[in-house]
Structure formats: structure tokens, C-alpha cells
Amino acid sequence: MTNLEKSLRKKGRRANSVAVIGAIFGDEGKGRITDELTDYFLKKYKKVIVYRDNGGSNAGHTISMNGKKIGLHQIGSGILHKGCVVVLGKGMAIHPIDLLDEIEEVKRVFEFQKLPAKLMIDEMAVLNLDTHRAFEFALKNRNQKTLGSQAATGRGISPSYADVIFRFPVRMRDLLSEDWRNILGEHYDLYKELIKGLSMDCSTLKVKRFNREDIQLGNKRKFLNNLEKTRDILREYVSPMYEYIRREWKSDTPFIFEKAQAIGLDSRWGVYPDVTASNCCLDGITFSTEGVIDAKDISARFGVIKSTYTSSVGKRQIPTFMEEKYAQVLRDDAHEYGTTTGRPRDIAYLDLEMLKYFCKVGCIEELVFTHMDIIYKRDVKVCVGYRRGKEKAYYRPDQKHLENVKAIYKKLKYWDKARLKTCKTYLDVQKEAKDFIQFISKETDTTPVMITYGPDRSDTILV
């Protein structure tokens, strides 16, 4: 029995349930792993549920099929599978116009008449609207003068979640209500005043759209007219999800919880202030399902990492950034440019001090090692600790703290990636690669379950 199979049937937990969590700064390949797990379960079961519980169009999950590739943002990565139910949960911030464009893009790229999977959207999911994007732009423009560049993606995610904290959220069910024009008209008026307070006219601001040119927000009438086009199409997907999830959780239907972003971007545990607005850890699942699912009952908790390096987008400064002469080669080889923004990612050595912390606070018990083919004929440097002066230091979720520590490195023997790509089982994997995997797993007190060495489903080995 493989480690993967053991992880799905832990004593005292709900069998065939797995959370796929970004273990460092995101972009580790969670979408690819979710897609693979969906395929794995559908070989044994008639149905599988892929549940997204956080983030929105700021996420970027790349999946491939039959030589075709797409970067998903709001739709769960099981969408290509007949028999899969993709649920967009309460904890998400959903941009309805972008979502419809993304649905059409999936159909276009893979030449579908309709989506293979069933798509369901929780009526309680927070709306992410062009008003939020305009406000984020205005706030970022103001802060550049005083605080320097901000790392927001321009998708208005933080303002969407802030609405919930401020007690005036707009949710998916508001868009579909009979009184939707009044509800969203009042929302527009509020954001018009907020943006006016930043000395800007919201109607003139341009906002980002999925796979389109930026558009002007326009006046309230234009804002509402743009949304009106989405209501009839989205209605078939939106419903209350409480009873559905409750019923399916009691059945034997496999569940895959696909997290967006990563623990290193969680506002509680990440390199603050360069963080996201949603809950990137296991406990976010409990909130999104309104307590129907206690995240502690999920059997497998997979943390996904890039095996030999880490990538980072934003303004965070960490002690393990790679020398640029190596970083640019790796960046091009591994296509390290943002799925959502296209921004070139910063490249760093794998940081065990950070990873151990994230595994602890994120409740990660297993590791998935992606990008095992990104290896060169030189020893692999891994950060095994920090020092401040002559004293031992630790990871803390604070940028100023990290600016004053130095990384301590250990070198591990490299492996032959060409030989790795010929392996069919973990028994075939060469000793150097196994030694690396076992070292990382032991240091983080986790169990290895999968490794990948390419973008296709076949480029995977179960441990």
C-alpha cells in the first residue's frame, strides 16, 4: 500500500477526504495535484467533489489535458472530469463576469459543448465586483506615494472580504434576488463615496477583467447593466449548499478540498504585510462549509511544495533569495511567471525553517514534491536554519524580522532528471532523489505521498 492510500484512510477520520494546500508561497502546482486526485478517485468511484473554499480570481491553477493547458482562476481544477462536482464555497470571493468568461474559455480551449463536470456555487459566496477593483486601484495609487508599491493583484479581493468584516457584504444570492438593482446600486453608491474620499472619480477608473482589456467602471447604470447579463446564466449554478454538503459528507463520495494561494500568504502566518485576504489554511474549510465539515476530520492534509526551490511574487524580502544568475535560468526553465498577473516570480532556495512553521500552523501532514525535474548538475542548497549575528533565529510572520536574519544552508546531492523521467514507480527512483525527499520529510515531520516531474498526469509517481 502506498503512502497516498494510507493517508486517505487514517483511523478516526473521514475516509477519502483530502485537502490540497499550498505549503509556502503558492504556485506550487495545487491545480495539477487536484486534477490528478480527481482522476485517481474517479477510477474507483462514480462521483467526486472538488471544493474550493477561499480566494477568487487572484488565484491561478494550471491544468493540462491532451496537450492543451489552461490557467484556472475561480473554477476548481476538477472541472475537466465527467463525474466530478466542482463547488465554489462560501469562503470564496467570486467575480461573476470573470467567472462566465472563464467557463467559456474552458469550453473553447478543450472544445467542449458544455462543462464535463457539474459546477455548483454557494449562494453565500461573497461577490467580487468591479467596484472592489476600482477601490483597490485607488487605494494602491494613494499608498504608492506614502508606503511604496503594494502587492495586490488588482482583482479587488481584499475589499470584497473587507465588506464582510464591515458588515455590508454583497453575496451571490443578492445578485439573483428580485431586489438586486437596489442592493447593488447602494453598493455602488458606497464605493463611489469611498473612492471620492481618495480624491478620484470611480466612473473614470479602469478595472481588470479575465482575458480581456481593462474596462472603465462607468456610472451606476453601466455597472448594473454589466451585471444583469450574468444573472440568467449563473442562476443554474447557484444554490444553498449546506444540506448538499452535509448529505455528501455522510456518504462515501470522495472529497478534495482545493485551497487557493498558500500558508505563506495567509494574513496570520505569512510574511506580513505581503499577504492575501482569505484563509489559506485547513481551518478555512470549516468556515466555508458553515461547520458541516470539521476540518480536523479530513483524512489527508497534503502540503504541495516545489521540490528544489521556492518562488515568490510581491515585495516580500526573504533570506533565501537565489543568486540572479541561477534564478533567471530556473525562472525560464520552470516558466516562473504569474498565472494571473504574468509577473516574473522571485526565486529562492527551499527554506526548511519556513516550511516547518507553515506545516505546523497549516496542519499539514503529507508533502507532495512537484517540479522534481527542475534540477541541475550542482548540489541542491536547502536552508536549514537562520542566524541573527551569532545567535540562532527562527521564522516569524513579519517582514522586518526576516530582513535581519541570515540563512544557514545544507547541500544535498543532485539527481539525474532524465533518469527520473523514466521511472514508473517509487522503487525505480534513484537514491539521491529519495535521500532528498526523506530528508525534507523528516525535517518537517511529514510523510511524502507524490512526486511530479512534468506537467502531464503521467509525469507523477506515488510514494
Cα separation of 214 and 206, whole Å?
6
Q: What is the pLDDT of residue 210?
A: 83
Which is catalytic among the residues 53, 61, 81, 373? 61
Decide which of 211, 236, 261 is a domain's last residue.
Answer: 236
Average pLDDT estimate for 312-326: 91
HSE-CB for 457 with a 13 A CA cutoff: 16
Residue located via cell numbers 462514480: 46
Question: In terms of residue numbers, what domain contains 278?
Answer: 3-7+16-123+240-462
Decide which of 170, 203, 236 is a domain's last residue.
Answer: 236
Number of domains in the chain: 2
On whether both 167 and 298 belong to a single domain, the answer is no
Check if 297 is active-site: no
Q: What is the pLDDT of residue 148?
A: 42
Yes or no: say if 131 and 208 are a contact pair by the CB < 8 Å rule.
no
Which is catalytic among the residues 27, 274, 373, 459? 27
In terms of DSSP H, where are the helices of 207-294?
A: 220-234, 242-250, 284-288
On whether both 288 and 224 belong to a single domain, the answer is no
On whether both 370 and 342 belong to a single domain, the answer is yes
Q: pTM, whole model, 2 decimals? A: 0.94
On whether both 232 and 244 belong to a single domain, the answer is no
Q: What is the pLDDT of residue 212?
A: 84
Q: What percent of the chain has pLDDT over 90?
A: 83
On whether both 184 and 163 belong to a single domain, the answer is yes
Q: What is the pLDDT of residue 144?
A: 64
Cα separation of 439 and 297, whole Å?
28
> Residue 79 contacts by C-beta under 8 Å, 6 or more apart in sequence?
50, 72, 86, 106, 115, 116, 117, 119
On whether both 105 and 132 belong to a single domain, the answer is no
Cα separation of 308 and 227, whole Å?
44
Q: CATH number of the domain that 156 lies in?
A: 1.10.300.10
Tens of pLDDT, residue by residue over 162-198, are 999 999 999 999 999 999 999 999 999 999 999 999 9
On whether both 142 and 119 belong to a single domain, the answer is no
Check if 61 is active-site: yes
CA angle 290, 291, 296 (to 5 degrees): 135
On whether both 76 and 193 belong to a single domain, the answer is no
On whether both 39 and 145 belong to a single domain, the answer is no
Decide which of 184, 206, 236 is a domain's last residue.
Answer: 236
On whether both 140 and 96 belong to a single domain, the answer is no
Q: CATH number of the domain that 309 lies in?
A: 3.90.170.10
